[in-house]
Chain A
Amino acid sequence: MALGSEHTLKAFDEDIDRLRGLISEMGGRAEAAITESITALTRKDLELAAHVVENDKKIDELETEIEKLVVQTIALRAPMADDLREVVAALKIVGVVERIGDYAKNIAKRVPLIVESGSIKPTTLLPAMAQVAGEMVHDVLNAFAARDADLAAAVCNRDKVVDDFYNSIFRTLVTYMMENPRHISESAHLLFIAKNIERIGDHATNVAEMVYFAATGQRLPERERGEHPTEPHEE
């Protein structure tokens, strides 16, 4: 039986399970979108990129369905305490996951623009960066379903890794642009892609904060952030 269930009214448990299942599904699709958009980039696979863009509609539909279910659960079940916090968190989380899906779609939309401009070396760090961000999304949604505050807190600590990746890629691309002015366009797209992944990491930590609050009723303490790219860098 799912954690935190066993309400006297079994229908309430069924509603909560259905909510968690839909959020898991939505999260899985968002993760897949992140992975597939970067794969499309590195393999120059235009069809896969188009596929990611098309699939974003399903993520948006899930957001709408989950919102309806949350409102219904509040009206019919009058949830209290941790149930109430979980349901309110679900509402906020799906908004954030929908944004994550949009970032992945945005990456996929840039793939044709990069590929058509010919040879470019996409930085090899991008797939690694995307993998960390994708895992953060995966773990934080697992933390939500399991009401695992510790797992949620651990996800927050990984955002620094994503930020550090971004800063490396930023410097690499700026240097590359200065040395290869003919490739500024594609490089700019890659910069935006890197920025999108960095934002996905931030969103995953926002979700982690929501999960932590839902599970414990307390706020997560301030977390350590990565170095800001425009701050002076010690050589």
Chain B
Amino acid sequence: MTMIQPKMAASVQSPKMTARNVNVFYGDKQAIDNVSIDVDMENVTAFIGPSGCGKSTFLRTLNRMNDTVASARVEGEITLDGEDIYASGMDVVQLRARVGMVFQKPNPFPKSIYENIAYGPRIHGLAASKADMDVMVERSLRRAGLWDEVKDRLHDSGTALSGGQQQRLCIGRAIAVEPEVILMDEPCSALDPIATAKIEELIHELRGNYAIVIVTHNMQQAARVSQRTAFFHLGTLVEYGVTSDIFTNPRQERTKDYITGRYG
């Protein structure tokens, strides 16, 4: 199946990540069937589709999180800056710093707010001194839109924050190791509408510096935050295009049925 190219002006840069003919199996069960897609810098790409369509599974192939599942097997080629991330020489820890991930349920470490942010840079050796680290922590918390709310209590526990604040802390934690791509798996599902709106605004602000991929089951959210949208169904990529086109005039019947609420 050839990839359906979105209609858009030629990119100035080549894609940050590419996937070509990717298949994913859990044991004998095929979860992803021949998916090819590009992820571009300075863009938010949304993966939408019904439960079980494979969007989270595919997201996890982009930073090899599926390696943690014993029965998972990935075929095909996935590149970051042109390099195959499944090649035998690839440093997976480094990969996961460059391609960071934020999960559905906020999962701050049971440490202070400061330590949540500092942990990653410390193990990657990114800060030369305490002063350096302080600067990195502040920068990450500012970028995550959390600094003003926590600057006077950096040594309080990260788990004492509200749900929305915890999620922003997790985003700050991902940013602290200076990623290039940020993967988000339903980051707002556990949050109330105001916290959700703050995260969406944060995504909008972050977009200029990263490539962001967000899995969401909320179509309105995909419509609000993304520039490109990919619709998955039963493990295949049905349609991929400019978000406004997908939501006003999709080309595939299955896409239309899903987004208009006729599916199921």
Contact = CB atoms under 8 A, between A and B. Distances in A.
Interface of A: 6-9, 12, 77-85, 217
B256 A82 contact: yes
Contacts of B264: 8
Given A78-B220, A80-B219, A81-B256, A6 B262 contact: yes
16 contacts: A6-B262, A7-B260, A7-B261, A8-B262, A9-B261, A78-B220, A79-B260, A80-B247, A80-B248, A80-B260, A81-B249, A81-B250, A81-B256, A81-B260, A83-B260, A217-B248
Interface in B149-192: none
For the complex of A and B, the 4 pairs showing the least CB-CB separation, nearest first, are: A217-B249, A80-B259, A7-B261, A83-B260
Interface in B242-264: 247-250, 256, 259-264
A9 B259 CA distance: 13
Contacts of B260: 7, 79-83
B196 to A, nearest CB: 15
Contacts of B263: 8
Most chain A C-beta atoms within 10 Å of own C-beta, residue among B219, B247, B260: B260
A131 B101 CA distance: 66
Given A7-B260, A8-B264, A81-B259, 8 more contacts: A6-B262, A7-B262, A8-B261, A8-B262, A80-B259, A81-B247, A82-B256, A85-B249
Contacts of A80: 219, 223, 247-248, 259-261
A8 B259 CA distance: 11
Contacts of A78: 220
Nearest to B255: A81
Interface residues of B, number: 14
A131 B250 CA distance: 39
B248 A81 contact: yes
Nearest to A7: B261
B9 to A, nearest CB: 20
A82 B223 CA distance: 16
B262 A84 contact: no
A85 B223 CA distance: 16
Given A80-B247, A84-B248, A12 B256 contact: no
Nearest to B246: A81
Contacts of B247: 80-81, 84
A203 B213 CA distance: 46
Nearest to B247: A80
Interface string B228-250: 00000000000000000001111
Contacts of B256: 81-82
Interface in B69-94: none
Contacts of B250: 81
Contacts of A12: 261
B185 to A, nearest CB: 23
Most chain A C-beta atoms within 10 Å of own C-beta, residue among B256, B259, B262, B263: B262
B59 to A, nearest CB: 23
Contacts of A82: 256, 260
A216 B256 CA distance: 13
Contacts of A8: 261-264
Given A78-B220, A80-B219, A85 B261 contact: no
A217 B256 CA distance: 13
Contacts of A217: 248-249
A83 B259 CA distance: 10
A7 B256 CA distance: 11
Contacts of A79: 260
